[in-house]
Amino acid sequence: MRRPSLDAARLAALAPGVVIEVLRETTSTNAVAAERARAGAPEGSVVAAEHQTAGRGRLDRSWATPPRSALLFSVVLRPTVPAAVWPWLPLLTGYVVARALRGAGYDAGTKWPNDVLIGDEKIAGILVERLQTPSGPAAVVGIGLNVSLTPEELPVPTATSLLIASGAEPDRTDLLVLLVEALVEAYDAWQAGGESARDRLAASYAAACVTVGRDVRVDLPSGDPLTGRATGVDRDGRLVVRGPAGETAVGAGDVVHVRPTDR
């Protein structure tokens, strides 16, 4: 497989205010972007890597892809919205990535809270980390998208890649431009639009989230499982699950979409 490198020249002319640094190899783009943010990097600074040696998932899990087979990048944001709505950032990001992929012809959807799936398989993962910096609080939004991994290269059987889903290897530079521009545009509109923009995102997210309407098992941070039917997503971004004890709004946890045969 050819797996060309990202084209730094084409990435130099992105949206106004967006500056991308492309690293051949690093530990984790989220870790590097956090360092840049602490050193004063402005909103819109992006760190991308061709390979990560210590890619991070949530809860200390890892994220693994072969060199140049994926998009791995992290965006520094300095949100001015109230702290209480920051938890929408990962949901906004998953929604935007799925929408951009759908626009590019892939049958992508968001699994609550922020996994992006094609069919029932994970095509992209998102890790948003909040940090304090000398110039105020910041968020690092990290995205990993599997582009040209072959079935043998998938780190877990629940993963997929754009190559596997479509039979073709898209240009990673085009895709990175598409995703960064889509994210910046949606984030700016969400930030500037106040409460009405937040309500619109909540409605659009719930309508597009493939978890809603499914039977689910949620592994709660406490370790307890909650099973039931996902019926919606509330204004705080929580998944509403109707279980044996009524409706519960879940703010964090890992969701398994249960197929009738899994029960």
Query: Which residue has the CB atom at the shortest distance from ligand BT5?
Result: 125
Q: Does residue 190 bind ligand BT5 (CB under 6 A)? A: no
Shortest separation between residue 140's beta carbon and ligand BT5, angstroms: 8
- Contact string (CB under 6 A) for ligand BT5, positions 67-96, x = contact: -----x-x----------------------
Instruction: Mark residues 158-177: x for contact with ligand BT5 by CB under 6 A, - for none.
Output: -x------------------
Gyration radius (Cα) of the chain, Å: 18
Instruction: List alpha helices for the chain, DSSP H.
Output: 8-11, 29-38, 88-103, 162-166, 172-192, 194-208
Distance CA 137, CA 82 (A): 11
Strand extents, DSSP E, the chain: 19-23, 45-49, 70-77, 108-111, 115-118, 121-133, 136-146, 215-219, 225-233, 239-243, 246-250, 254-257
Between 28 and 173, CB nearer to ligand BT5? 28
Structure tokens at 224: 């307890």
**226 scored as a contact of ligand BT5 (CB under 6 A):** no
Q: Binding ligand BT5 by CB under 6 A: which of 126, 138, 162, 216?
A: 126
What minimum distance in Å lies between the beta carbon of 200 and ligand BT5? 26
For residues 132 and 34, give the distance between their C-alpha atoms in angstroms, rounded to a whole number: 9
Can you give the binding site for ligand BT5, defined by CB under 6 A? Answer: 28-30, 52, 55-59, 61, 63-65, 72, 74, 122, 125-127, 142-144, 146, 155-156, 159
